[in-house]
Amino acid sequence: MVLQFIDVLLLGICVYLLFSVIQLKGRVRGLNYMVNQLSSQTDTPDMPINHECRQLLRENKDVKAVKRVREALGLSLVEAKQYVDSLKLDVRS
């Protein structure tokens, strides 16, 4: 009986933590979007990682650029790939 109560309590805590993390991720993405919009409208300097990634892209080291973005910005693989792809457009134009 007590063991079942503890199991249910632990499950409830895990579910609560999971939903909290999901909410926080959404808020962080929203804040990142807002920062990107603000920086595109103002004259803010480029992030140092962008210069390094552009150099790697010029050397055709796309995978290394994605890895550096993941390390520097803490993005997932998909997000880092999208980030590097957007920088690729800048390098080619």
User: In one letter, which amino acid is 38?
Assistant: L
pLDDT digit string (tens) for 6-39?
899 999 999 999 999 999 999 988 888 888 788 7
Helix ranges, 1-93 (H): 2-41, 48-58, 62-73, 77-92
- pTM across the whole model: 0.56
pLDDT higher than 70, residue 69 = yes
Between 84 and 42, the higher pLDDT residue: 84
pLDDT of residue 67: 95
The Cα–Cα gap between 40 and 17 comes to: 34
